[in-house]
Structure 1
Amino acid sequence: MASKNGSKELMSLLQYMKDTRLDNSEIKVKDERLIELDRIVSEVKESEEWEAVEMNILEVGISNGEMKKLVGVSENT
């Protein structure tokens, strides 16, 4: 993120969204809202549903790569 203008809370939220860890050194304000968000994110990441979503994303990515190979699209296009 190039600009650091704005409230410290907003900048901290945006930094958290880039790297969803509270020990992210770019986070300047760890207020109760960010801590609650981290709790929710951690809960979702640990769920079986999230694992299924991750696998689905992987499958789509692999499928897209296979489609590119079939139609002869190069990686540099």
Structure 2
Amino acid sequence: SGEGWKGQDPFTDLHSLLMEIQALRLQLERSIQTNSTLQSRLEEQLAMGAEKAQEGALTLAVQALSISELPLQPDKH
């Protein structure tokens, strides 16, 4: 037994593997947190974009009504 380790201490090798697993777990947790933060920001931006699109459509509708109902009113811009 131990021939597969090529002279390495199996406990040292196991410790190295555990350290690597812990580092990978920490990296994964950070990536998940970053992903969650980016997803929240994207959802906020999409919600604001949809709200602005609705406001823009309402503004266009009001302008269209104003133009069709009051064609002689001077432009206030």
Same fold (TM over 0.5): no
Higher alpha-carbon Rg = 2
Q: TM-score, normalised by structure 2?
A: 0.36
Q: Which has the higher contact order (CA 8 A, sep 6+)?
A: 1
